[in-house]
Amino acid sequence: MLEPPTQPSLLLLGHGSSKHPESSQSVRMHADLLRERGNFQSVDVAFLKEEPRLENVAAQLTCLPDEEVGNLTIVPDFLAEGYFTLQVIPSMLRMDTLPDSVRYISPVGTHAMMQDLIYQAAKDVLGDWCERDVTLLLVGHGSTKNPRSKETLMQHIEGLKTSSAYGQICDLWLEESPFVNEWRDVANHDKVLVVPFLLNDGQHGGWDIPEMLGLPEGDPVHGHTHELGGRHVRVAPALGTSHRFADVIEEVALLDRALRS
């Protein structure tokens, strides 16, 4: 009688921060949720800038016999394809030395299901406004190291333009133009929704974006309508704080396994 296939193990990779440890909270939360569901043999995390460190986990993997590595799916819990996911992480993992049972898949944020999460995040703060009267601004991090990091969000925006009724949907960036502090020049409507295409409400979501938007210091960022120079602005929490983010991770990881089995 054949043994049933073992459940895959899951390794979530985050960036983390030595200066702002709260930046890893979403990745750790996603891992906790996935452990509770029990669809993976194990769910572990590793970070570039925090403990447990990716380089230590990678060293352990390369030392294990192939049969002990098992069916491992490695998921970058990042929102875009870029310098870290295309160059840094594969190099640190030494993917060419690992057995075929180890799968390294695309960052979670690149999957089309992210559009549903973005739409829901906007809907959660839309309140009594009508989509057609609103400019939806999606804020990404951006990067000067790899131009592909911008492509992911732009693809999601194009998809949302055809699947939603917002009067305008535009991109803003923390490290590229158009910058967040240029939002008044970008938005065509008096009612503006801002959804941070970020994992956490840490340094960027909690401080940088509110400051760049011009929100009064000390005002609550979320659950509040801000009047700024005749415009009305509502800000959603960072996308990665949604529990539904774990749904996407689970689906793409298990789907990748099913397609390659």
Q: What is the pLDDT of residue 118?
A: 97
Give the per-residue pLDDT at 17: 81
Same fold, 9-109+243-259 and 111-241: yes
Q: Which amino acid is at 31?
A: A
Least confident of 15-19, 64-68, 226-230: 64-68
- pLDDT at site 82: 83
Considering the chain, what is the average pLDDT of its residues? Answer: 89
* 46-78 residue pLDDT tens: 999 999 999 999 888 877 666 667 789 999 999
Tell me the fold of 111-241: Rossmann fold (3.40.50)
Q: Please tell me the least confidently modeled range out of 16-30, 100-114, 177-191, 221-235.
A: 16-30
Which pLDDT score is estimated for 261?
61
Q: Return the structure tokens found at 183.
A: 């939002």
The whole-number average pLDDT for the span 142-171 is: 89
Across 7-16, 175-184, 252-261, least confident range: 252-261
The hierarchical CATH code for the domain 9-109+243-259 is: 3.40.50.1400
Residue 128 · residue 250 · CB < 8 Å: no
Tokens standing for 82? Answer: 């870029």
Domain boundaries, the chain: 9-109+243-259, 111-241
pLDDT at 2: 35
Q: What is the pLDDT of residue 183?
A: 97
By the 8 A CB rule, do 46 and 53 touch? yes
Q: What is the 3-state secondary structure of 172-209?
A: EECCCCCEHHHHHHHCCCCEEEEEECCCCCCHHHHHHH
What is the share, in percent, of the chain residues with pLDDT greater than 70? Answer: 90
Interacting residues of 261 by C-beta distance below 8 A, sequence separation 6+:
5
* Predicted local distance difference test score (pLDDT) of residue 249: 95
